[in-house]
Each structure stands twice: as C-alpha cells, then as structure tokens.
Amino acid sequence: MANHVASKGIFVNLWAREEEVVQIINSKHENTTFLAGIPLSEKIVATASVAEAVSEAELLFLIIPTPFIAKWLEENQTMLPWQVPLVCFSKGIEQQSLRTPYEILVDELPGKYHAKLAVVSGPSFAKEIGVGLPTSVTCAAQDIEVAKQIQLALATRNFRVYTASDVIGAELCGALKNVLAIACGASDGFGFGANARAALITRGLAEMTRLVVKKGGKASTITGLAGVGDLVLTCSSSLSRNYSVGQAMAMAARSQPQQKSKEDSSNNFNRDLAVAEGVKTSLAVHLLAERLGVEMPICESVYEVIHKGIDIKTALRKLQDRPLRAEHDEYQGTWVWSAL
C-alpha cells in the first residue's frame, strides 16, 4: 500500500518494527522480508521510530496484526495526530475481547480521534497492488466525508476505491473470509471439485450475512467488494495464506492414517502456514457466533478441526449430512440465507 501511495508522487514515511527491514528498504528499496521481488519507490522512507513516521502526516495507515493493535496503541497513542484520517487495513477479531480492529480503535483512542477513523477492505493481494495490477476496494467510515477524502487520496486508474458507511459489515467480512478460505482450501486439497468450492463460498456468504446483520451491519455489504469480492478471491487462490493452510491440512490428512489424536491433528500442517489470520480468527468467530446465537456451520467446522482436533474430512462430510431446508429466510424485509 505504501508503494501504491508513493506511485502518486506522495512521500511516504513507513514505520517498521524490525530494524533490519528498515535498513533494507532504505538501502535497496525492497522489502525482502515481507514483499520480496517488488521494487519500492524512492519516495518511501522507512523508520523504526513511530514519532518520525507520523510527523507532519496528512493521512495515517494502520496495518498491524489485529492481536497487537491494542498494545501498539497503548504504547504509541500520544504520538498520533488526531486531526487527520486514520485508516485501518487490519483484518480479524481480537480473541480476548471479540472486538474488530475498528472497535479496538474506538475503545483505545480518545474521543477526539473517532470522527476520522475509517477501514479499507476488499479483494486486494499485496503483491498485485505492489506491481500496479487493477484492484478495487471499499473504504468504510461512519462519516462518509472522511471516506470520500480517503477515496480521493488512494484512487488511481488501476486502484478504484468505493465509499461506504457500514464499518461493521466491512470488518466482519474481512475477518470471516479468512476462515472460509481455510474450508475451501481443504475441500480443494481433498479434490472435492469446483462444485464443492462454489457451494462453500455461497453458503459462506450466508454465514457472513447472518453474523453481519446480527451485529448491526448491512446485508447489502455482503454483495460488495468487502463481502463476495474478497471472499471469492481468498477462497480460490494459492496467493491466499488461508486457502493454502486448508489445502495443506487436507493434503496432510490424505497422506496419514485417518485416526489421529488432537495433538497430532494440530501439528499435521506446516507451522509456517499457521500464521494465516483465519487460524486464530476461527476461534474468535466461534465465540462471537456463540455469544450472538448465530448458526455458522462452515466456520464452526473450521474451528473444530483446528482447535478441537476433529478429523478434517469428517468435518467436511458432516456439512453435507446436515438436514435439508429452504435456501433463503426473510429477515426484516431483506432476504438472507438460511442455515446450511
């Protein structure tokens, strides 16, 4: 994202926690650790100092893993300017509190920051943005004028930005798609075919809709870039870490005996792949759905496989054995999908 903004002729201060990353970006104009092979603009200057990074900033981007946002804000909040938009690109749900990134920002930042908060979500692999391939995303903010300001700052011919006001929906979609991508990767890993993947994506949208609406978001958000757009991308590409995790789990299960202990099951796939957001988010989604009384069988199956040691093929087959029912329910005048 820094490279994209710099491509518009804008100078970018980039904060990085790792000193070696700072040095490489400034000396070689490449992030060999996290985005190898993508040349970075000379308008990007990296620093390990938050104070230097935010100095004289006209727009702040927060791209920190969700589990660390609250702690980072606690340590750095006093250095953040409050008169400029703060745009969160993070995805997920905090396990302890079940808060989305936006909710963390609202809780942890003083009220003077709240009017300028926004989130960006949608189908956007970092590597493709980095090389300037066509991409479209949604910027959601409570104040639509803030969303429009960010839209103008980010938009180019190859990077379209649409505005929205449903922050809740955009964030939940961004978290749930990672869990559903694990299920799709597992299905493909077992060779269940394109029909099965299409069904998981479609019924996954049903689960998204139920949770978003229950938490106060809009069902219409599911049909947009943050919903179906990001879900289709994440559930069908090997560039997705979450899809790759599911695929690796299925391939490991196919090569080993069916009977496995919980400990064995949790260690069957490459530990490097376990950094995928959907692994931790599956537990948070399970807890949130349980709290809100929302039925989410696909997400629940992913949770059971990862956190309870249920055999992955058994979990996928269990979804197929659920009672038959109508596809749609009518909810407050809006058609939404019934439980799978």
Q: Which two tokens stand for residue 325?
A: 């029912």
How many other CB atoms are found less than 10 A from the CB of residue 333?
6
Token pair 């920051």 in the structure block, residue: 113
Q: CA 71 from chain center: how many Å?
A: 19
Q: CA 311 from chain center: how many Å?
A: 26
Furthest-apart CA atoms within the chain: distance in Å = 60
Residue 11 has φ and ψ, to the nearest 5°, of -75, 135
Q: Is residue 91 a known part of a binding site? A: yes
Q: Pick the catalytic residue: 116, 177, 260, 280?
A: 177
Q: Which two tokens stand for residue 44?
A: 């990007």
How many other CB atoms are found less than 10 A from the CB of residue 192?
19
Alpha carbon distance 175, 231 (integer Å) = 10
In 3D space, the residue among 90, 88, 145 whose CA is nearest the CA of residue 118 turns out to be 88
E strand or H helix at 121: strand 117-121
Our answer to whether residue 177 is catalytic in this structure is yes
| Residues 6+ positions from 48 with CB-CB distance below 8 Å | 15, 16, 17, 18, 19, 22
Q: Is residue 339 a known part of a binding site? A: no
E strand or H helix at 138: strand 135-140
Q: Is residue 68 a known part of a binding site? A: yes
The β-bridge partners of 139 are: 120, 163
Annotated catalytic residues are: 177
Detail the residues annotated as belonging to a binding site.
68, 91, 126, 241-242
Detail the residues annotated as belonging to a binding site for NAD(+).
68, 126, 241
Detail the residues annotated as belonging to a binding site for substrate.
91, 241-242
